[in-house]
Amino acid sequence: MPLTLATTAPGEPEIFASLQGEGPSAGLPCTFIRLSRCNLACLWCDTAYTWHFTGDNRPHRDGITHDRATNQVTLSEDDTAARIAALGQPRLVITGGEPLLQAPALARLLARLPGIRVEVETNGTVEPPAALDPLIQQYNVSPKLAHSGNPAELALPPERLRDWAANQRAWFKFVIALPSDVDEVLALQGEYKIAAERIFLMPEGTDSATLREREKWLAELCLRHGFRMSDRLHIHLYGDTRGT
């Protein structure tokens, strides 16, 4: 079964080289592949074109739905692997959408890319299967807090959070819009015994001015609680654009 990818333009798969903009690998040169489809629906999602298709009534703050035919494309594992290899980067970031929804096809893809270091961006709700998990060196787990608009029973499944907390390849990246959001992070940290040094707080925002304003108070909260702060480097460099 082929992979279903997001597009940068109709028919053009979103596979590109750039600097990682977030989390523990920020600043590193990478190849990115953005897969389509998601099992959650964040009100502030900045890649809603991967899931908020015409006919999907789940809310999103901009109210826009996207045409599936122009925002999705399917590629074989061989074609996808060739495009990734041609970009010549030592690290591959698999993002979405929720990439672990396509885990079987990802396992077949990575078998075609020996030697590349792989990190997966995930919302943390899907368990990586045994065929895929050994091929991943880093998980960037971003559990969705209440301000995302997702019900906690969907966004924060305890069995998955326990597993991620026990997985030393997993880093936790929480999107923060208000200082009060950090109270939720502290509750999750305590419940699942997540070491502070594995937690990143990242401001929600899709423009530099918003990110900088929120980072002013977010920096103090990181200092207070021993968390790391993640910027969104790609937003400052390229704006809120596809393929960056």
Is 61's pLDDT higher than 90? yes
CB-side exposure of 70: number of CA atoms within 13 Å? 6
The strands making up 91-95's β-sheet, listed across from edge to edge, are 15-19, 29-34, 91-95, 117-122, 138-141, 170-176, 199-203, 228-229
Asked, for residue 216, whether it belongs to a domain, the answer is: no
Is 223 domain-assigned? no
pLDDT in tens, 31-59: 999 999 999 999 999 999 999 999 999 99
Q: What CATH number is associated with residue 169?
A: 3.20.20.70
Alpha-carbon separation of residue 163 from 109, 176, 210 (angstroms): 24, 23, 33
Instruction: Please check whether residue 69 lies inside any domain of the structure.
Output: yes
Query: pTM of the prediction?
Result: 0.97
Percent over 70 (pLDDT), the chain: 100
Per-residue pLDDT of 113-157, as tens digits, reads 999 999 999 999 999 999 999 999 999 999 999 999 999 999 999
Per-residue pLDDT, 212:
98
The verdict on residue 75 lying in a domain is yes
Q: Is residue 125 part of a domain?
A: yes
- Total domains, the chain: 1
Instruction: Write the pLDDT tens digit of every residue in 158-199.
Output: 999 999 999 999 999 999 999 999 999 999 999 999 999 999
pLDDT band at 1 (very low <50, low <70, confident <90, very high): confident
Model pLDDT for residues 205-223, shown as the tens digit of each residue = 999 999 999 999 999 999 9
Q: Is residue 220 part of a domain?
A: no
Q: Give the pLDDT band of residue 234 (cuts 50, 70, 90).
A: very high
Residue 189 in domain: no
In this structure, is residue 73 part of a structural domain? yes
Q: Is residue 63 scored above 90 in pLDDT? A: yes
Domain that holds residue 42: 3-173
CA 152/CA 148 separation, integer angstroms: 10
